Amino acid sequence: MRIISLCLLFVFTFSLSYSQSAKKMCVVKLIFKVPYPIKNLSVKIENAGFGIANSNPLEILNLELKGTVTHKTLFLNEPCLANILILSDSMQISGSGIVLSKEKIEISIDSVALEIDSKQNTFYKENAMLYLRPPDLLVRTKGYSRDIVRKNYKLKIPDNIRLFKMYEEYERNVLSDVKANAKYYYGLVCLSHIKSELSLYTLQKCFDYLPIGLKQSTYGKIIIAHIEDSKNLSLGSIMPDFELADTTGKNINSDELKSRKKYLLLDFWASWCAPCREKMKYLKSIYAEIDTSKIDIVSISIDENVEKWKKATIEEKVPWENYYDFLSIKRTVSTIFAIDEIPVNFLYDRNNLLVQKNIGDNSFYEFLKKEGMLKSTK
């Protein structure tokens, strides 16, 4: 009796586990159509997530065409954007930006092109360029910046009422579009791209509109991590925990920086970023005046290529600490600081509390002078 009970328990547990995993699986049915029978047809599908990795493996499908139509079912962990390459003895056709989501997708193949038909892909095709992007009229308005917008959201009377009203209208439009198109995977991709353009209040509301499957996808997780990290980067918040590497590969963590009890400017840059290197030149021009017993400068490179970072470090002859944002087991430092554009910096006080974000060159010099952090003002 006990053996039977154990067997039933095993079957029940397995069935439940299988059922739960099946619910999470994104089942995509591909229907391939060709104008005439083709021999040795193969299809390569690979992730095209704009540098964002997800949990879907690459797929190479060897298809057996019976006549001019064949079917193939993909079992993916989540929806994704993909590139597709069609190969046969007589042709090679590639297509980019196909949305693989839980639906039937018809792919018509002729000798020169692919025609992809599904609701998700129709939405992608109609909105591929400008969906959710801030309008040019707003971006080109004098005084516009993300930081100004965020600041004005916390003021009863905005500094620039006209600019703020334009931005309010943009955010209302984003909320309306996301609510109306919440089921579309490409809408989620676009929302992740503009996450830093929106106030946290609006971004959270947009995220709340999404269905549970998209919330739990790679891009959904990127958005919610950005929301949580940004909340931890408000003025007065304590410096987060992180780890960096120097040019020799030696690691340093934030605890060591915090223990110094000095002001700290964290400056994010990259070898390929011309404005970053211009900013670095300015910091070098005033560095000899800075009283380093009161404040430290730490540069953090977000270069993907460590050798390019080392080369740029030698070229710039950086006189202060310079570290590399290596890909750790958990998260990169640039992710922790919710960074998606550079140059950007964070100024912390002796108690490791954030006092300024993205402080400009002149403002930084005036701050040093006011706080007595220049050698001539001791």
DSSP result, 184-233: -HHHHHHHHHTGGGS-HHHHHHHHHHS-HHHHTSHHHHHHHHHHHHHHTT
Q: Which of 155-159, 223-227, 244-248 is the most confident on average?
A: 223-227
Residues 343, 220, 234, 237, Cα dihedral to 10° = -110
CB–CB of 167/199 below 8 Å? no
Identify which of 91, 112, 79, 76 has the alpha carbon closest to the alpha carbon of residue 40.
Answer: 91
The set of residues, in sequence order, having a beta carbon less than 8 Å from that of 247 and lying 6+ positions away, is: 310, 313, 322, 324
Residue 6 has pLDDT above 90, yes or no: no
Per-residue model confidence as pLDDT tens digits over 136-162: 888 787 777 666 666 666 666 667 778
Of 8-22, 61-75, 291-305, the poorest mean pLDDT is in 8-22
CA–CA separation, 175 vs 208, rounded Å?
11
pLDDT at position 249, please?
76
* Fold topology of 243-377: Glutaredoxin (3.40.30)
Q: CA-CA distance, 186 to 129, in Å (whole number)?
A: 11
The structure tokens listed for 347 are 């100024």
Q: Which of 34-38, 144-148, 194-198, 272-276 has the highest mean pLDDT?
A: 272-276
Question: Would strands 92-100 and 104-109 be described as parallel, antiparallel, or unpaired?
Answer: unpaired
In this model, does residue 113 exceed pLDDT 80? no
Name the strands in the sheet holding 69-76, side by side, starting at the edge strand that comes first in the sequence. Answer: 69-76, 26-33, 104-109, 114-117
Nearest to 246 by CA among 183, 182, 313: 313
The CATH superfamily holding the domain 21-117 is Domain of unknown function DUF5300 (2.60.40.2890)
- The neighbouring-strand residues paired with 76 are 26
For residue 173, pLDDT beyond 80: yes
Among 103-112, 174-183, 325-334, 339-348, top mean pLDDT goes to 174-183
CA distance 237 to 228: 13
Task: Say yes or no to pLDDT of 351 above 70.
Answer: yes
> pLDDT: is 67 or 257 the higher one?
257
Q: What is the pLDDT of residue 136?
A: 81
Q: Which residues, including other chains, have CB under 8 Å from residue 68's CB and lie 6 or more apart?
A: 33, 34, 35, 36, 37
Domain ranges of the chain: 21-117, 136-231, 243-377
CA 115 – CA 119 distance, rounded (Å): 13
Measured at the CA of 303, the angle between CA 301 and CA 304, to 5 degrees, comes to 145
